[in-house]
Structures are given as structure tokens and as C-alpha cells.
Amino acid sequence: MHAAVCATAAQAQAPPPKVGPDFPRPPGDPAAIARGQRTFTVNCGFCHGSSGRGGEGGPNLLRSPIVLNDQHGELIGAIVSNGRVARGMPKFELAEDSIADIAAYLHSLDMGGHKSPNFNPQSVLVGNAAAGKAFFNGPGHCTACHSIDKDLAGIGSKYDPPHLEDAIFTAGSTGTFGLMSPTAPPIRVTVDMPAGATVSGRLVELDDFDVTLIDDAGNRLTIRRDGDVPRLHINNPLQAHLDLVRRWDDRNLHDLTAYLATLK
Amino acid sequence: MTTLNPVNITKPLHIIRPLHLTRQTFRAGLRSLSVIAASAVVATGAAVAASGVPPEPIPPLAESWPTFSGDYSGMRYSSLTQVTQANVKNLTLAWATRLAGGSDSGGDGVFSAAGPPQIVGGATSEPVVTGGLFSSAAPISVRGSILEHHGVLYAASPDNAWAIDARTGTVLWHYYWKTKGGTHTSNRGMGIYGDWLLFETADDYLVSLDARTGKERWHKDIASFPEQYFAEAAPIVIENHVLVGAGNDGDEPGSLKSYDPTNGELQWEFHTTPMKAGDPGASSWPSIEAARHGGGNVWTAGSFDPNTRLYIFGTGNPTPAYSSIAREGDNLFTCSLVAVNVDTGKMVWYYQTSPHDTHDWDSSQTPILVDGEFHGKPRKLVLQATRNGHFFVLDRVTGEHLLTTRYTPWGKWVQRINEQGQPVRDPRWDVTVGGTVLDIDGWTNWPPPAFSPQTGLFYLRGFENYGVMYYTETDPHGSMGLGGVTRGGEVALGSSIRAIDYQTGHTVWEHHFEPGQGYLGTLGSGLLTTAGGLLFAADQGKNLVAFDAEHGQPLWHSRLQDVSNGPETYLIDDHQYVMVAAGDMIYAFTLY
């Protein structure tokens, strides 16, 4: 028994495992990468782009199966030394070490996928601020809940444009699923109990069989449901945002973002 | 022995095949009063152990669950009738088992029972810990099919596999694969050939285990790890073929591969995009370079028609997913239903359900093969509800298009349905630099649908999540993978089960669920329908629910945890079990 307790304590002290990328590759020698970048830029950059992502006629090398499967230049070297004449790539007389450097450089670049190196937050501002103001005060019905002098004062300084747009869309809540996230304002539920009584409070959980709420005195109540009995009345303060979700016209969203971005 | 473990005597005994000495066939030999068969077992046993045991033919879904969908049709319709609309209210927990994974799956024998035998494999000595939503260190979660075969269950989650006594839930062995990385989305389950199990790993291996012991027989590379493939599909065993595919979040091309189940040798490979000039579909791409980076990955299992020898499967989205400027054209054979001859790997027909997809909506959903009347004429059909929100009916022998309907409310991205029945996108809902509001996850995903011949209804778990997607790659040279990004916010409007009449494509009933919590919870899990007039499904998360398959009313439920796979059913000792996984738990219900 004692031994088992000690083992558990030892496990608890073990350092957490180091989290790495999905497709790890041993890190290259920084000096080789730097040499490789210079050699690549001079010899290869014109066709393949200085970042390796393709250029004048040459394909993107970051997603090339040859480059990806290469370890230390053994696959890349054959192409560099022999050329691909039929495709317009000449031979290059480069020393084996230089080719290994080029390989180290290419392998140091991220392949991409979910990464978005060219994403510029300011580029999101494509809308018309005046039109956004009109939408805010008119068909958007935003003023029913919001005021640019109160809750939205200075909002353009709080968020960069894409996060501002996202905040409009998800009603300012964060997390994967905005309106169900812990930061969303509470959803209120009122339950019609037998004999005309009601209970109400903050909705915690709801499915076909149970509803759980925390009432204003702080009591947690789970009430069994059987079809429509008892009846529930749900008041979601973000309902207006939910109602817009299917209806958004991108232009309105862009205009509104452009307008709110001016509220510095 | 036979009293404890009655064998279904209606199952044919294949004495012309080399038999093996499993408990099942041994008893079957005794039960079928064949002294010849019993001696054949003994005589051929040794030779069989060396050369492999041919699998038994897979019958329509009933007593056992020997392949991803239970049988080859993809219907997930069981002919078992013990559990009915009338008695389902008495369905009771038979057992619940928690699965332990990783290198530390055993109990200590003091505070808890000693664990099952553990077998460790892998292509690296130190397992790699990957991060993010699909981390290799994520808690155990069974998000695929569990096989039931001769009274034993075989379950998998990424890097882990277990054998479990189907009567008691006792874990018989645990196999742990030390991973070198890869995107650990899920493991969709195993395949079985005789006594040999087969499953894929996130770092691109096909692993074969001895089902009796969990000992590894071999593992083979099935895709390039440096090219960033990751494998999760359930291998489909069809006679002497094992069909596998892999996913890729970069933009490497897809293929379906067939391996020999005895030794893991490659038999054939079918590329889902053109690989060289003149290949079929090449004219649907601007260049072969684009096609060779065009995606169309095969990350889910298909269905099989033994009569036509056609394996019919769905393909993934084209890449780059959102920035499509460098891939003008239809992008064949991405987002398509493809039928290949299982013996040759040659394509017999295809039908593209999403020409030139620009929304990352793959068509990887399980196709369902149905023999039924269609508009008054008996036909061999294939039905598929795809992630783009459309339901398709085709003739599965020829690929002839018969019906398209949209089953979702959000259709503004569709300009029209063309003469071939394909939705044509309106480019105004392509992703832009300023951000585009999008049904961001599509309407369905891997969770398998179901079809009941009793009701004629196709059952689909759908969900409705929206987000703002930004176009990030304006340089066509640089476009890779997605070419789009969100800022993380999504709005979930909930999910539903839809029952679609395959004759009309119209939804006959729909049951709505409020949004669940957590990303995977919102996607739902798979469906099961039975001859007892039932449809089993998880709700927005925690409840396993039995619905009236015809009308959609809930008749029974049990609150578990977040249900993570499609419910299944099997029959042992004349008891019908209903089984489902919820993360690291497996629950089996029955009637007493």
C-alpha cells in the first residue's frame, strides 16, 4: 500500500510532457539554415520565390512531396544537380554541402496548412463606415440594446478589425461556440410549475428530459421534462444576434465593422 | 459450453474453407453434427495459423458487428427485433467499462484490480506529444465503430486498442501504439480478417494485431508522414482486400489503397485526383500541379456491393479549401462519390456532389446502399447526404443521378441545381478578405447516417454552426491547405435528426436539439436503426435516446456522458445488446 502511494506521488512530480507540432522534424543547425537561405535566394529564389512558396514559373517548394520527404538534401540534391530540363529547370553545380544547407533552409519553413502568414488584420476593413452607421441606427436594430456612447464607447480601440467583426457576429462572447460559452451573458429561463407557480433563474443546462437552472437565491434546481410539460420560457439576451446569424449579408457586416472601428 | 455460449445455428458453416480453431467455429462444428467438419478443424488448424484465416462472409446486420457500419450496406439497420417500441422502456444497463489508455493502462492490483495484459508497439521509442484540439495527449475517446465478433468487442481510440468481453465488459487486452506524431483527430475503428485485426494510426501506419492476444503481427506505412498525412479511417476488409485511406490538412492528394490482410502488401492504389496529363478528370484542373495538390482525401470508410464488386466511397474537399483561385474548374474527383472495382481498384463511375467546392465541405459521408423501389421501379440505389447540405439518390450500378434535394435552411450559397443534379455555387458566398459569414462546419460530418427499410427513411444527424471566415492567401503560388482562417468565434444554433424520405428527398420529421457544449459535442455522433421500429441516437450530448423511427418521438433515454460514437447492437446468448461509447466509457444495455 505504501509503495503504491509513493508511486502516485512520484507520478505527480513528473514534468509535464513537452508539446510539439503534429509533424515534428528535428530542428536544423541555425548556421546551416542561414547559409542555405543565402544560397537559395541567389540560385533558386527567382523561380521558386524567396520564401520558397513559388515564383516566376517555379512551383511552391513547401508543399513539394520531394522536399517534404527529403531529410538532408538527398532527394533535393538529385533535382538540383540534374535539373528538370523538360520543365525548364537547368542544372546547378552546387557542392553537396550547399545543397544540404538549402535543404536545411527549406525544412525550417512551415508548410502552411492552418497557418496564415499573409493575414493582415487591417485588410478586413473593406466596408463603408457611413453605410455601417446607417445600418446601426436603422435596419440592424442595434440601438435597441447598444449605444456608441455607453457600452460601445471606444470599441474600435479594444479590438483589431477581425476580432471586432467576430465580436459583432458572436455577440462579443469568446470561445468556440460563442453563445454557449461561459463568457456569454446568462440566459434566463422561467418554468411553469403545477398549480400556477413558476420558478426562474439562470439556465444551466437543457435537453429533452431535464432543465437545470440556478434561481435568484442561488439554488440549483433540476426539473424533469416530459414533452412540453412543464412549459419553459427562455429569454436569451443575445437573441437578436442569434436571429441575425442566418440572415447576415456580408456587406452589412463589413460596413458595421468599418463603422465601429471608427469609435476609438 | 454450448449452453453458456449458444451459437446461432442459422449461420452457414463454410466447411469448404479452411477452418480455424476459434471457439465459435469449433462449437459450430459440434452443433452442426458434422464429424467431418470437426476433424477438418483439427487437420487444417496448423496450416491456417501460418497462412491466415479467410474471413467469414459479412451478412446483413444482425447478431454481430464485424465491420465499420455493421455490414457493407452502410444502412446501420439491424434486423434484431428483441428490443421494440413496446419494450424499449425496460432497456437496462448490462455493464459499463472505463477504458484506460497510454502506457499506464493497468491497475496496481492493490487499490484496483490488476489491469489487462498490455502490448506496446510503435515506430518510435518515445511517444511524441502533439498539441491543439487533436492532441495525442487528449483523453481517451472512442469516436468510431466498435467491432463485435464471436463474443468479443474490439474498440479503438488514437494510439490505443482494446479487446473487451461483450458479455461482461471485462477488458481482455490493451494495445498501445507509441506515436511519432500526426494529427490525432480520432480513430474510426478497426477491421477484422479471421482472427486478425487491422487499424490505422495517426502517424500513417496500418497495424495488424492477433485478435486473441493483442500481439502485433506487423505494421506498414500507408501514407507519407513528412507530407503530413494522418490516418484515422476504419479499414474495410473485403475478402482478401483491406481498404484504407488517410487525411491531409496541407494539400497533398488523396488516394484509396488496398492491402493484403495477411502481410500488408500493397495491392492497388486509386488516386482521387489526376496525377499526370491525360488522366481522367485532368481537364477539370488548370494544371496537373494543381491537381497533384488538389486534396480529395479519403478519410472515411465507404460501402460495398458484393454483386457488382463496387466499393463506393466519398472523397474529401479540394485544396486549398477556401482560396480556390489556383484551381479553376470542377476539381475532379474531389467532393465526389466514387465507385471502384474492389478487385482492380479501377474507377467504374463517379458523381461529383460538390463541383469546385469553396467552403471546405467534403463529401466524405457514408454512402448507404439500398435495394428498393424508386418511382415505381425496383432499383439498386446509393443514398448520400453530404456536408454541403444536399441529399442525393443515384443508381449505384451506373452512377446515374436520380434525385437531389437540399435538406438545410441555409442555401444562399447555391445559385441553382444544374442538369446533372449538382448544386452550383454562387461565388458571392466564396470566402473574402473582409470576411464571409458561413455555415462553417457544413451540415454533417463523419457521424454515420442510417436507413431503415421498414420506414423507407434516411436518418441524418445535422448541425448548424456559423462563423466568419477570412480569405488569407491572395498569392496563388502560396496557397496551401485551407487558405482561410477564422478568428475563433462560432455560433451554434443547435443540431437535429432529420428523417428523409428517399423517394422525394423531403424531410418527414425533424427533432431539434439545443446546442451542446464543446466542439465535438455539437457535431453529434452516429445513428442506429433496428427492425424493432427504433432509431438510437445521442442528443446534444449526454443522453442516449431511442426514438420511434417512424415518427421521431423519444421513447427511452439514459443519461451517460458525452456520447462519442454511433450506437450499435448485437445479440449474444439470445440477448440483444445496445452499446454506445462516451469518451473512455462503453455502456451496454439489454433486456432482462
Question: Is A24–B181 a contact, with Cβ atoms under 8 angstroms apart?
Answer: yes
Q: How many A×B Cβ pairs under 8 Å? A: 208
Closest-CA residue of chain A to B439:
A246
Mutate to test the interface with A, among B437, B479, B553, B560 (most CBs of A within 10 A): B437
Q: Which residue type sits at A11?
A: Q
Distance separating alpha carbons of residues B353 and B300, to the nearest angstrom: 16
Pick B137's closest partner by Cβ from A7, A17, A70. Answer: A17
Residue pLDDT, tens place only, B196-212: 999 999 999 999 999 99
Whether the CB-CB separation of B489 and A241 falls below 8 Å is answered with no
Whether the CB-CB separation of B333 and B349 falls below 8 Å is answered with no
Closest-CA residue of chain B to A208:
B513
Question: Is A179–B180 a contact, with Cβ atoms under 8 angstroms apart?
Answer: no
Question: Is A118–B478 a contact, with Cβ atoms under 8 angstroms apart?
Answer: yes
Whether the CB-CB separation of B154 and B161 falls below 8 Å is answered with yes
Mutate to test the interface with A, among B287, B491, B497 (most CBs of A within 10 A): B491
Strand partners, B535: B529, B547
B435 touches chain A (CB under 8 A): yes
- pLDDT at residue A13 in the model: 52
Distance between A216 CA and the closest CA of chain B, angstroms: 23
Residues 6+ apart with CB under 8 A from B385: B365, B391, B392, B407, B443, B444, B449, B458, B460, B500
Interface of B with A in 305-344 (CB under 8 A): none
Please report residues of B whose CB lies closer than 8 A to that of A118.
Answer: 472-475, 478
Distance between A147 CA and the closest CA of chain B, angstroms: 23
Closest-CA residue of chain A to B129:
A19
**CB pairs under 8 A, 24+ apart, for B262-265?**
B262/B51, B262/B52, B262/B193, B262/B196, B263/B218, B264/B206, B264/B208, B264/B218, B264/B219, B264/B220
In terms of pLDDT, which residue wins out, A6 or A181? A181
Distance separating alpha carbons of residues B84 and A80, to the nearest angstrom: 69
A176 touches chain B (CB under 8 A): yes
Distance between A102 CA and the closest CA of chain B, angstroms: 17
A17 touches chain B (CB under 8 A): yes
Give domain A30-107's CATH superfamily.
Cytochrome c-like domain (1.10.760.10)
What's the pTM value of the predicted model, to 2 decimals? 0.90
Please report residues of A whose CB lies closer than 8 A to that of B556.
Answer: none
In terms of pLDDT, which residue wins out, A3 or B385? B385
Residue B196, phi-psi category: left (phi > 0), alpha (psi -120 to 50), beta (remainder): beta
- pLDDT at residue B13 in the model: 31
Closest CA to B198 of B138, B267, B260: B260
Distance between B485 CA and the closest CA of chain A, angstroms: 7
Distance between B289 CA and the closest CA of chain A, angstroms: 8
Residues 6+ apart with CB under 8 A from A92: A43, A80, A81, A83
- pLDDT at residue B35 in the model: 31
- pLDDT at residue A71 in the model: 93
Interface of B with A in 557-576 (CB under 8 A): 557, 559
Please report residues of B whose CB lies closer than 8 A to that of A183.
Answer: none
Please report residues of B whose CB lies closer than 8 A to that of A245.
Answer: 437, 466, 491, 493
Please report residues of A whose CB lies closer than 8 A to that of B130.
Answer: 19-22
Q: Where are the domains of chain A?
A: 30-107, 124-180+240-261, 188-236
pLDDT-based confidence at A170, cuts 50/70/90? Answer: confident
Report chain A's terminal Cα–Cα distance, integer Å.
64
> Which string of DSSP letters, residue by residue, matches B499-519?
EEETTT--EEEEEEE---SSH
Pick A180's closest partner by Cβ from B252, B432, B515. Answer: B515
Rounded average pLDDT over A73-88: 93
Distance between B568 CA and the closest CA of chain A, angstroms: 22
Interface of A with B in 63-92 (CB under 8 A): 63, 65, 68-70
Averaged over successive runs of 10 residues, the pLDDT of chain B (592 residues) comes to: 33 31 33 32 36 74 97 98 98 97 74 83 92 88 96 97 98 97 95 97 98 97 95 97 94 95 97 97 95 95 97 96 90 98 98 97 97 95 97 98 95 96 95 91 93 98 90 69 78 91 97 74 82 95 94 97 94 98 97 96
Helix H segments across B394-452? Answer: none
- pLDDT at residue B231 in the model: 97
Give CA angle at B206 (B202, B209), nearest 5°: 115
Give CA angle at B434 (B329, A239), nearest 5°: 110
Burial B244-262 (b: 16+ CB within 10 A, else e): bbbbbbbbbbbbbbbbebb
Kindly provide the ipTM of the predicted complex, given to two decimals.
0.87
Mutate to test the interface with B, among A23, A173, A232 (most CBs of B within 10 A): A23
Whether the CB-CB separation of B560 and B585 falls below 8 Å is answered with yes
A160 touches chain B (CB under 8 A): no
Rounded average pLDDT over A155-176: 84
Distance between B72 CA and the closest CA of chain A, angstroms: 33
- pLDDT at residue B382 in the model: 98
Q: What is the CA radius of gyration of chain A?
A: 29
- pLDDT at residue B165 in the model: 98
Distance between A63 CA and the closest CA of chain B, angstroms: 7
Closest-CA residue of chain B to A112:
B480
pLDDT-based confidence at A175, cuts 50/70/90? Answer: low
Pick A19's closest partner by Cβ from B131, B515, B542. Answer: B131
A209 touches chain B (CB under 8 A): yes
Residue pLDDT, tens place only, A10-33: 444 556 667 888 888 888 999 999
Question: Is B129–A17 a contact, with Cβ atoms under 8 angstroms apart?
Answer: yes
Please report residues of A whose CB lies closer than 8 A to that of B487.
Answer: 162-163, 165-166
Pick B493's closest partner by Cβ from A60, A68, A245. Answer: A245
Cell of B50: 501460418
Distance between A229 CA and the closest CA of chain B, angstroms: 14
A59 touches chain B (CB under 8 A): yes
Interface of B with A in 342-381 (CB under 8 A): none
- pLDDT at residue B36 in the model: 31
> What domains sit in chain B, N to C, each tagged with a CATH number?
1-51 (no CATH), 77-590 (2.140.10.10)
Q: Hey, which of A69-73, A112-116, B269-273 has the most confident mean pLDDT?
A: B269-273
Whether the CB-CB separation of B560 and B543 falls below 8 Å is answered with yes
- pLDDT at residue B33 in the model: 31
Pick B181's closest partner by Cβ from A22, A123, A126. Answer: A22
- pLDDT at residue B324 in the model: 87
Distance between B32 CA and the closest CA of chain A, angstroms: 49
